[in-house]
Amino acid sequence: MSKRRPIAWALLTGLLLAPPSLGIPIDDARLRAAGLETGNWLMYGRTHDENRFSPLDQIGERSTGRLGLAWSRELGTTRGLEATPLVEDGILYISGAWNLVYAIDARTGGILWHYDPKVQRSRALFLCCDAVNRGVALYRGKIYIGTLDGRLIALDQHTGKPVWDVSTADITKPYAISGAPRIARGMVVIGNGGAEYGVRGYVSAFDAQNGNLIWRTYTVPGDPANGFESKALEKAAQSWSGEWWKTGGGGPAWEGVVYDPALDLLYFGTGNPTAWYRALRGKGDALYTASILAVRAATGEIVWHFQTTPGDNWDYDATQPLVQAELSIRGRMRKIIMQANKNGFFYFLDRATGEFLSGKQFVSGVNWATGLNPRTGRPVEAKSFLESTEPMIVSPHPDGAHNWNPMAFSPTTGLVYVPAKSDSHMLHVPDMQWAYNPDKGNAGGDDFYEGPMADKDHAMSGPKGELVAWDPVRQRAAWRVRLPTASGGGVLATGGNLVFQGRADGILAAYRATDGKQLWSFDAGTGIMAPPVTYMVDGVQYVSVLAGWGGPTALFNPPGWGKMKSGFGRLLTFRLDGRAEFHPPPFGHQGPPPMPSFVEASPEQVHEGELLYGAHCAACHGINAVAGPLPDLRYAGKQTLEGIDSIVLAGSRASMGMPSFAKILDADQVRAIRAYIVSRARADAMAGARTP
């Protein structure tokens, strides 16, 4: 061994310092050592641990005053940008709206190549959360991207040309992929989404070289009449009631996949059941929805599970990012996996066994549960929520105390930095007349509810955005920073004692990691959801982040959530002494909507249109017809309003992402929606209102 160590170190040093011309591939060994490549960012979370910590310290707490823009690159979209850039040898690889992929020169921002998979835009009807994508994977000279129409595509890393393209899902069903692929054992691992519409969740592993399917692990049991794929699923079926398989069951793994090469285990979280509500779905824990699963990477066999929200009734997915660490717990080093869950609790598990170690509320206002069982981690659900079918205010909101936006763990401070929302809430009303319909959403909420408390949720103040520095061992906050907006983007921690985070109002800020003091900020001109990354080129440290406001919060545009800034998406890159000029083009309408001279309608028709708009249009065009990234319908011209049937029913703009609603709405209902839109335009024109 003594003779091999110098040789191994020399090889590793050569790998880290090797110029791009040597063409050293990104293989499994290099990914295992990715933490040593401080100049690159080779994986979604930088390392297999996914702690999003870089030891780079050229940009540090004492030099932030010199931090400035190096360059910016607009990407030609107003949709959401959520991706983590990957960086190898001075080249950035990013994905944008509708799964466009770019290779960009990290020194200049110049586009080296780009690829458009030509996703069918009409599938927007079955996208819960905008036309977004969270990133790509790099491996053996290829770039991998999962698409919104359920494909997994391998591209040549140097040219952007397709190498292979496989379907991961039945395209006749409402599956979509928004998460970034992960690499394990020469395989590309990918999940999918669609529980709000009715799908059966699963994770798949494909051969990275040729795209052949190696294994597939379902997260919920299927039709018992057809048998079960595993003993684990047969056992899980005992926790369901009714005929759950007819809706698919839900539980998709749409985000949060990590890999431990030493244990050869893959971990991922699963989403909500279909429908959301137990009153519609039946009793039982509904395994393995709202759970963290560990599967054997070689075979996909389920090794252990931990259910964060048994019998989920609130859309509390467990798909939030998972972070691995080795920490001392009561004097013993433990292999840990951590998650700040949507449901408001921070979980601390042994990743070898799934043993619950501890869990605490990391935000205020949680009311659905009073705490966790200290031995099992099972939530103690508040009695008032156990069997109720009545409307109620529930907290956290289904958007979560923490959602997909990545958190970061610093081994230097021992803290986890979480983009959080506290005191979030919603009016929770199951539709007792709900029946599964494959042509529309199947969350099961009563979108037309007008009973007691109907206006209460809108009257209440919105959630409070926070950046929380969480001590995972002590299970308490070391510090909190209150944000001026409800929504904060993903997080980066660095060896410069800094934490970077963007937010909905377009501000990218750097905080001191030890106490949360803000040291620097930059106005990006549009809201930031994505996490920043940092890397080094030619001895210079850079920080890059995608700015592009989108996702369900941006589309829904809820009032009371603070200033949210829509605009043109771009990639921003910073360095010390950067002096690039920045002039983001104006976005949106600069005055009140014009007074429409079109369509007289009865109050009854306007009211019907208001309910229909809220049920079918607000998720993309905003509450009260006040839009964020997508067209603000209050400004629609006479020609557009006269041709609304061709748009909404005939799908004349399906290629632009406006699908046909012919299976959901009829002509009279569309006219009622038009009457409501016109009434909103008139009201705001008369009041001289301006868009937010």
**Residue 22's pLDDT is what?**
44
Whether the per-residue pLDDT at 406 is higher than 70: the answer is: yes
Average pLDDT over residues 516-542: 97
Cα gap 38→318, rounded to integer Å? 31
- The answer as to whether 246 is a domain residue is no
**Residue 424's pLDDT is what?**
85
CA atoms within 13 A on the CB side of 543: 37
Q: How confident is the model at residue 368 (pLDDT cuts 50, 70, 90)?
A: very high
Least confident of 149-163, 188-202, 446-460, 464-478: 446-460
Q: Which of 421, 428, 426, 406 is nearest to 364 (CA)?
A: 421
Structure-block tokens of residue 305:
């599970």
**Residue 460's pLDDT is what?**
54
- The answer as to whether 681 is a domain residue is yes
Cα gap 265→399, rounded to integer Å? 29
Cα gap 43→37, rounded to integer Å? 11
- The answer as to whether 667 is a domain residue is yes
Reported as a single tens digit per residue, the pLDDT across 312-341 is 999 999 999 999 999 988 888 999 999 999
Whether the per-residue pLDDT at 11 is higher than 50: the answer is: no
3 state DSSP class of 681: helix
Cα gap 140→26, rounded to integer Å? 5
Average pLDDT over residues 500-510: 98
Q: What is the DSSP string of 440-480?
A: S--S-B-TT--STTTTHHHHS---EEEEEEEETTTTEEEEE
Dihedral pair phi/psi, residue 565, rounded to 5° = -110, 105
Q: Cα angle vertex 212, ends 209, 217, to 5°? A: 120
Whether the per-residue pLDDT at 8 is higher than 60: the answer is: no
**Residue 452's pLDDT is what?**
73
Cα gap 201→176, rounded to integer Å? 11
Average pLDDT over residues 532-551: 97
Q: Which of 288, 294, 335 is nearest to 312 (CA)?
A: 288
Least confident of 66-70, 241-245, 263-267, 445-449: 445-449
Cα gap 62→162, rounded to integer Å? 45
- The answer as to whether 613 is a domain residue is yes
Structure-block tokens of residue 74:
């607009």
Quote the distance between the C-alpha of residue 557 and its chain's center: 17
DSSP state of 180: P
**Residue 209's pLDDT is what?**
98
Cβ-contact 627, 556 below 8 angstroms: no
Reported as a single tens digit per residue, the pLDDT across 15-62 is 343 344 346 889 999 999 999 999 999 999 999 999 999 999 999 999
What's the chain's average pLDDT?
A: 92
**Residue 81's pLDDT is what?**
98
Cβ-contact 136, 86 below 8 angstroms: yes
DSSP state of 318: S
Least confident of 7-11, 168-172, 452-456, 687-691: 7-11
Average pLDDT over residues 610-634: 92
Cβ-contact 292, 306 below 8 angstroms: yes
- The answer as to whether 611 is a domain residue is yes
CATH of the domain at 639: 1.10.760.10
- The answer as to whether 29 is a domain residue is no
Cβ-contact 395, 367 below 8 angstroms: yes
**Residue 462's pLDDT is what?**
76
Cα gap 99→148, rounded to integer Å? 7
Cα gap 559→566, rounded to integer Å? 14
Distances, alpha carbon 14 to alpha carbons 4, 7, 43, 87, 173, in Å: 15, 10, 20, 19, 49
Whether the per-residue pLDDT at 2 is higher than 80: the answer is: no
**Residue 681's pLDDT is what?**
92
Whether the per-residue pLDDT at 454 is higher than 80: the answer is: no
What range defines the domain where residue 671 resides?
Answer: 603-687
Q: Find residue 215's DSSP bridge partners.
A: 205
- The answer as to whether 183 is a domain residue is no
Distances, alpha carbon 484 to alpha carbons 255, 315, 578, in Å: 27, 26, 27
Active-site positions? Answer: 315
Task: Collect all residues with Cβ–Cβ distance below 8 Å to 53 and sequence separation of at least 6.
Answer: 46, 408, 409, 410, 411, 412, 493, 494, 495
Whether the per-residue pLDDT at 114 is higher than 50: the answer is: yes
**Residue 104's pLDDT is what?**
98
**Residue 457's pLDDT is what?**
55
Sheet holding 151-156, edge to edge: 137-139, 142-146, 151-156, 162-167
3 state DSSP class of 36: helix
Cα gap 680→532, rounded to integer Å? 38
HEC profile of 544-611: EEEECCCHHHHHHCCCCCCCCCCCCCEEEEEEECCCCCCCCCCCCCCCCCCCCCCCCCCHHHHHHHHH
Residue with tokens 């700040």: 340
- For the chain, the domain total comes to 1
Cβ-contact 623, 558 below 8 angstroms: yes
Structure-block tokens of residue 493:
């921690």
Cα gap 33→16, rounded to integer Å? 10
Whether the per-residue pLDDT at 475 is higher than 80: the answer is: yes
Residue with tokens 């592009």: 548
Cβ-contact 356, 305 below 8 angstroms: no
Burial 631-643 (b: 16+ CB within 10 A, else e): bbbbbbeeebbee
Cα gap 692→151, rounded to integer Å? 37
Cβ-contact 380, 372 below 8 angstroms: yes
**Residue 329's pLDDT is what?**
85
**Residue 428's pLDDT is what?**
85
Reported as a single tens digit per residue, the pLDDT across 387-405 is 777 888 899 999 999 999 9
- The answer as to whether 8 is a domain residue is no
Whether the per-residue pLDDT at 204 is higher than 60: the answer is: yes
Q: Percent of the chain at pLDDT above 90? A: 81
